[in-house]
Every structure is written in C-alpha cells, then in structure tokens.
C-alpha cells in the first residue's frame, strides 16, 4: 500500500501555483516536495499545511494505492 499525490499536482496546475511557490507558502522543503513526487511517506503536518494553502481537504491532494 502506498500514497499517490497526482491529485496534488493536478490541483496546482488548476490553481496555477508553481511547485516552488507551494514550498514557500506551505513552508516545506524541496526534499519534501521530492518525496511527494515519488509517492513517499510524508508527515501529516505537511499535508495539513498544503491543504491549508490550497484551501482543500487531504482527499483532494492524495489517494491511497492498494497493492
């Protein structure tokens, strides 16, 4: 089981927010953004900050992939 953050990147495109701008506004590091790109685990605090910046819920930025 793993996480997929494709919804996050589509939402960024829809809202015309660049990844670097998201990093700055959500106060996340480029290495954390790389983890999101790779579908790696990230802290829930990070997901909450991203949702706060994008004014959305966690289900709007990620989905769980079942094996």
Of 12-16, 49-53, 56-60, 63-67, the range with the lowest mean pLDDT is 63-67
Report the Cα 64 to chain-centroid distance in Å: 13
pLDDT of residue 38: 92
pTM value is 0.89
CA 45 → CA 6, 30, 32, 41, 42, distances in Å? Answer: 19, 16, 12, 12, 8
Residue among 32, 30, 67 nearest 47 (CA): 32
User: What mean pLDDT comes out for the span 32-42?
Assistant: 93
The answer, yes or no, to whether residue 4 has pLDDT greater than 90, is yes
Residue 1 has pLDDT above 80, yes or no: no
Which domains can be identified in the chain, with CATH numbers? 2-62 (1.10.260.40)
Q: Which helix (H) or strand (E) holds 38?
A: helix 30-38
Residue 56 phi, psi (nearest 5)? -145, -175
């Amino acid at each position: 089981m793993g996480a997929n953050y494709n919804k996050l990147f589509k939402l960024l495109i829809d809202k015309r927010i660049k990844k670097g701008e998201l990093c700055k506004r959500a106060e996340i590091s480029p290495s954390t953004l790389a983890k999101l790109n790779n579908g790696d685990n990230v802290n829930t605090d990070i997901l909450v900050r991203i949702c706060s910046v994008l004014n959305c819920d966690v289900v709007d930025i990620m989905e769980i992939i079942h094996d």
